[in-house]
Structure 1
Amino acid sequence: MKGMGGLLARTGSDAPPVTIGRDAARAAARGELSKPEYHRNDPGLLQRALNRFWDWVGELFDHASGTTPGGALGLLAVAVFVVLVVAALWWRLGAPRRAVRGAAGALFDDGIRSAADHRTAADALAAEGRWNEAVQERMRAVVRSLEERALLDPRPGRTADEAAGEASASLPSQAGALRAAARTFDDVTYGARPANEAMYASLRDLDHALTRTKPLLTGAAQ
């Protein structure tokens, strides 16, 4: 029996090893690695998407740096230059503002209306607390009133500053107030400055004062 046991042992040890084909080994490995215990710490769907995005950004940067003189350093210099240009333009021109209707800087931007019409519109806007529009309408009332009194020649495209300068010739006592009113109109209309009740009250008082001011017979008044 002892000899037989030795023979079986030797036979088992001398048997040729079992060989597995390449495809079978690949399938077995794939099956083993698909088990849940191997994927407990895998990133989630969002993390995988972010990883792919950053990989794409990295490839894009590598490609851009490869085609830019100076490589990555040159690309960085170009990016800094672009940022500085944008910052300079922003500082020089200010934030983008909504385009103003009508000609640039023109006081009137629609059909001809009387001074009374502008005053009525201004008071209605002020009653609603729409101070920007109320200030604009009251300034238009001021200038239209001067045109109706022949202290200004009606002229399309006239700016608030031009109206104040021309009216000051025949109303010198109100020259300072006219210039201040024109500056308020420009700040509100083109400078994105918010108007308030005090600004409107100042323009309304000027409008009333001008109707009581006796003009000098000079300039347009002649």
Structure 2
Amino acid sequence: MTLSVPVEPDAPDARELLLNELTDPAYAESQPTWFDLVTQAVLDWLGSLRLAGGEGPPALAFAIGGIVLAAAIIVALLIYGVPRWRTRSRLQVGDLLGENDRRTARQLRRDAERAAAASDWPLAIAERYRAIARSLDERTIVAALPGTTAHGFARAAARQFPDHRSELSAAADRFDEVRYLGQPGSADGYAFVRALDETLEAARSPLPAVDAFAAAGAS
């Protein structure tokens, strides 16, 4: 009795054999991943760009890629960088002259005016001085870093506004008096700090680049 072994399987058998082969884990593991395919495509592109008549690494491709990347970074910084950094600074820096405070300068001024209307001079003076610090920080003129004291901030601000050095120091004195020395403050003291805040707010930034970037971000 002769047993015949089919050399060529029929269509259904061939399809089943192919499916079994493709579902074999060893076959699946041997296939390149999407990352392998992308990497190979990039390498092939870089390899096709070589210096004329030269062998070795594709120097021209790397030079072109570096120029394109640098240009993209510069454009992104000019268009989006500064406004986003300013927003990030306002959101992340919570410490303001010894308090965990995330209010904007506008909010601090509003709260200072409310305290002044109630004749709460210690709170009004402290809030208005914090408004000065927050405003200059928002304008990226002076950074209100965690741990900065009232006089430390006054000295930093005086370097940018030297014509107001004495007023900044006096305003820091009034802040320390009501904040740490328990003094009651006064309407005159609040009026002094408020006037300084309004003067600095109306003054042009001593850093022209900051105004240029801010204007570009606002447009």
Calculate the TM-score normalised by the size of structure 1. 0.49
TM-score by length of 2: 0.49
